[in-house]
Amino acid sequence: MNRSKNILADLPPTQDAEAFEPLVRGAGVLIERIVSQGQYSADGFWYEQPHAEWVMVVQGEAVIEWEEGSITRLAAGDWVNIPAFRKHRVKWTDPEQETVWLAVHYPVVAE
């Protein structure tokens, strides 16, 4: 079955928490839409995932902080590839508008 939808359509409410919506799953890959509006990672919390993650901001703005203290600012169209086990956190998302992320989680492949 083919599935088609606009990633900016029918955005869920984000007053209380970020919204995570799986779009496609298969063979160790997860593609999801994440919608944020002012949410960020709790102080002291770090993502440290066993898989790699490619993430793009489709709409809005966000800031990712890396464990060593550097930051990556993302605006619409910007993307970043996060290697497996690289500690990172969401430092900021725009509180004035929805930030829509497209995230692709994928397994690490040995070269």
| 22-37: pLDDT as tens digits | 999 999 999 999 999 9
Between 91 and 111, the more confident residue is 91
Q: Which whole-number Å values give the CA distances from 33 to 59, 67, 111, in the listed order? A: 11, 24, 29
Asked if residue 2 belongs to a domain, the reply is no
Phi, psi of 2 (to 5 degrees): -85, 140
The number of distinct structural domains making up the chain is 1
What confidence score (pLDDT) does residue 15 get? 81
CATH number, domain of 90, equals: 2.60.120.10
When pLDDT is averaged across residues 53-69 and rounded to a whole number, the result is 97
CA atoms within 13 A on the CB side of 29: 8
Q: Tokens at residue 93, please?
A: 């998302």
For 51, the domain range is 19-106
CA 28 distance to own-chain centroid: 17
Whether 87 is covered by a domain: the verdict is yes
Contacts of 44 (CB under 8 A, 6+ apart): none
pTM over 0.95: no
pLDDT of residue 111: 61
